[in-house]
Chains A and B, each alone.
Chain A
Amino acid sequence: MKTSSGTTGLILNEPLLWEKGQKGRCAFSFPEDDVDSSPLDPELASGGPDFPDLGEVDVVRHYTRLSQWNFGVDTGMYPLGSCTMKYNPKINEKMAGLKGLAGAHPLLAGHLSQGALKMMFELEGLLTEITGMDAATLQPAAGAHGELTGMLVIHAYHQSRGSARTKIIVPDTAHGTNPASAALCGYQPVSVASSEQGILSPEAIAAVMDEDTAGIMVTNPNTLGLFEENIRQIAGIVHEKGGQVYCDGANMNAVMGIVSMGAMGVDVLHLNLHKTFSTPHGCGGPGSGPVCVREHLARFLPVPRVIEKNGVYALSEDCPESIGKLHAFYGNFGVMVKAYSYIRTMGADGLKKASQLAVLNANYIKERLKDVFHLPYDRPCMHECVFSDKIQSAGKITTLDMAKRLMDYGFHPPTIYFPLVVHGALMIEPTETESKENIDLFIEALKSIAREAEENPELLRQAPHKPKVTRLDEVAAARKPQLAG
């Protein structure tokens, strides 16, 4: 094996800013005070917030040091399953930083915002083309917000037909937020188990679908990284009883330019621009979760809608059946710019190729590692593959131990213990942006970890050894959190 990319180096400790501050330090010079002092209303006077006094160098070193403790997509491979942590080309960041776009005020009049509105209008068009849907809203702030938007649209649709349905079908391989989004909308989630092949069977759906059920929330590809092959038949069953098909498009990275969601029978779909369409994410955003719908649901989309007339773009509130407004202004605009830039720079062929490579990379890892780790669903996967710790657990080595050890080799660990349908899951999503050399190194690292599990299990139980902080007491942190700062 080639040299591991994980090594040790000098990393500097850094206290909290409150511990670092010293009375009287300041990062800038105030202009000379040329205003007479005047008494302040005692009700307004108080000690003020507890901010530390810091010099500029204190602040710069603080954040530089913290950034050196970090591991990101720009540092190395980050195969966090279900998260699509791909490398995001810097050109997209540059476009979002263009002064005219970054500085555009949301209250600027429409005739002074034609470029921004045109970009939004065209992005909606591009997203509907990529997904095979008919209309889109860019308003939702992230994936789960998109799910809620989609559920509200489905609710509005049923209401418009005088139908008060109470339930939603949610498979056990759906994204974890799906049942919560349905419940927030007043629906009772009805859980359906996936088949032995890890996908939904039409029979299981037919058994629960009735005229009291608003529809189904399906994630396709699902959280096992498998394509729901029976989706058209399932959509038929749901439609026959008057239900709607919601697809969680968070895993769209596997099927861009390959699958038409509309043709698959999907009525509502959300996308995660911050995953599939190249916005750096993690640690809370900002994200963007556009919702695409078929024609019959377009009139329920949130307002304002971006419209075009004779080459002039405008925001329209004239949508009487709309579910209303879901975000201050129009959504997370900067993320839209990055997605637009990504789609336009990649082009149709480039997006299709990205999905093909994402799927190829995951299958390559699956095939190269399936002799070493238990593969619960041994069939072609999409953009991610799911192993378990079944083989290693016989020697009392857990998924957690192996994930921690992977850090010593210089890789971010995969997603662990998810999806819940696989016991001790190890969920690997390499994405399309890793080279074969990197992926081979990753495979070699996991193979040597499997060897270590047999030869030196204690090494894994104590791992990681090289990072700045080693094995943390996650239990104590959850039970007795010490919050400061």
Chain B
Amino acid sequence: MKEIDDLTIPDLRFAQDHEWAKLEDGGVRVGISDYAQDQLGDVVYVELPQVGETFEQGAVFGAVESVKAVSELYMPVGGRILAVNEKLEKAPELVNADPYGDGWMIVVEPADLRQLDALMNSAQYLAVLKG
């Protein structure tokens, strides 16, 4: 497993449960952090919601399965699912290889953008990881 200093923590918003969120033109893109994928180990399955479903902030929108365990995925911001990363069905390893890029999970139409602002920035997230 990686040392904290070896982790990639880009300039995104982060939730306590290690999801990242990024505001884009079409909505908020969501995935899990480098720390989360590293802790989980090799991801073997990703369960994602249907496009069009609506979840509140903090609700479970899916699950990620590694050889160690199944972990739930939580909405960093509430809203409607605009897109899911269908590539993960055949290639769950993308979550490990490129957690902030090709390993993205969902795009959300946010119900309230203030929820995004209330998430941690990268410096705050790093501080949490360092405990």
Contacts and interface: CB of A to CB of B under 8 A. Distances in A.
Interface string A436-479: 00000000000000000000000000000000000000110011
A56 B1 CA distance: 51
Contacts of B1: 393, 396, 398
B69 A420 contact: yes
B44 A479 contact: yes
A396 B3 CA distance: 10
B42 A475 contact: yes
Interface of B is mostly: loop
Interface residues of B, number: 12
B67 interface: yes
A294 B11 CA distance: 57
Interface string A390-407: 000100101010000000
A9 to B, nearest CB: 29
Contacts of B42: 475
B68 interface: yes
B69 A475 contact: no
Most buried by B among A417, A418, A423: A417
B78 to A, nearest CB: 17
Contact of B93 (A417, A423, A479): A479
A37 B42 CA distance: 59
Nearest to B41: A475
A171 to B, nearest CB: 16
A393 B45 CA distance: 25
B70 to A, nearest CB: 9
Q: How large is the interface on A (under 10, 10 to 19, 20 to 34, 35 or more residues)?
A: 10 to 19
B89 to A, nearest CB: 11
A474 B69 contact: no
B19 to A, nearest CB: 17
Given A393-B1, A396-B1, A478 B69 contact: no
B69 A418 contact: yes
Nearest to B44: A478
A418 B78 CA distance: 30
B99 interface: no
Nearest to A400: B68
Most buried by A among B67, B92, B93: B67
B69 A479 contact: no
A207 B71 CA distance: 25
Contacts of B92: 479
A417 B44 contact: no
Contacts of A479: 44, 92-93
Contacts of A478: 44-45, 65, 67
A29 B1 CA distance: 60
Nearest to A393: B1
Contacts of A420: 69, 71
Contacts of A475: 42, 44, 67
A162 to B, nearest CB: 29
Interface in B73-113: 92-93
A474 B92 CA distance: 14
A416 B69 CA distance: 10
A396 B44 CA distance: 22
A417 B68 contact: yes
B5 to A, nearest CB: 15
Contacts of A474: 67
A422 to B, nearest CB: 11
B81 to A, nearest CB: 20
22 contacts: A393-B1, A396-B1, A398-B1, A400-B68, A416-B68, A417-B68, A417-B69, A418-B69, A420-B69, A420-B71, A423-B39, A474-B67, A475-B42, A475-B44, A475-B67, A478-B44, A478-B45, A478-B65, A478-B67, A479-B44, A479-B92, A479-B93
Interface of A: 393, 396, 398, 400, 416-418, 420, 423, 474-475, 478-479
